[in-house]
Structure 1
């Protein structure tokens, strides 16, 4: 295991685009697991731009992360909801939809749920 790692998301190991050009996930693989930076463009919504890729009714990834910029509304399958913005820590269980609020991209860092996020169903 490396004792010191410094990586830049602009040189990610993998980039996964969302439907209709509404953003992307940049993934860095580390000895401790994948870490992702997602850029969700204005107008992005999970149920429109990732659901066709994932093939599930709602997002089934658990997320633990940080909102670096922009705003996002997260709605659980049971109706519980929150709007998160810059500086907010988020912990989200599987079973939710989400969308960008406002006219600026929402940038999220996630060190739990992006390893299998936006991977085509059956892959």
Structure 2
């Protein structure tokens, strides 16, 4: 999934399928292509405003019951 947004606070590292890493920090705008992994850096939560993919990203898992 593609992500386009703005980082309000915290820091995130993104690694793409080809092994490239990018750091995103407060005040950065970002575009993250499909096929990536990411993780929060440090103790502060990453808070971002998503402009693309927000309707599909970070939804709760469907109930498996």
| TM-score under structure 2 length normalisation | 0.85
Q: In proportion to residue count, which structure has more strand? A: 2
The structure with the largest helix share of the pair is 1
What is the alpha-carbon root mean square deviation over aligned residues?
1.3
Q: Which has the higher contact order (CA 8 A, sep 6+)?
A: 2
Q: Which runs of 5+ in 1 are unaligned?
A: 1-60
Q: Which has the larger radius of gyration?
A: 1
After TM superposition, what 4+ stretches of structure 1 lie above 4 angstroms from structure 2? Answer: none
Q: Distance in 2 between matches of 1:81 and 1:113?
A: 21
Map 1:1-123; keep pairs closer than 5 Å. 61-119=1-59, 120=61
The alignment of Structure 1 onto Structure 2 pairs a total of residues equal to 61
Q: TM-score of the superposition, structure 1-length normalised?
A: 0.47
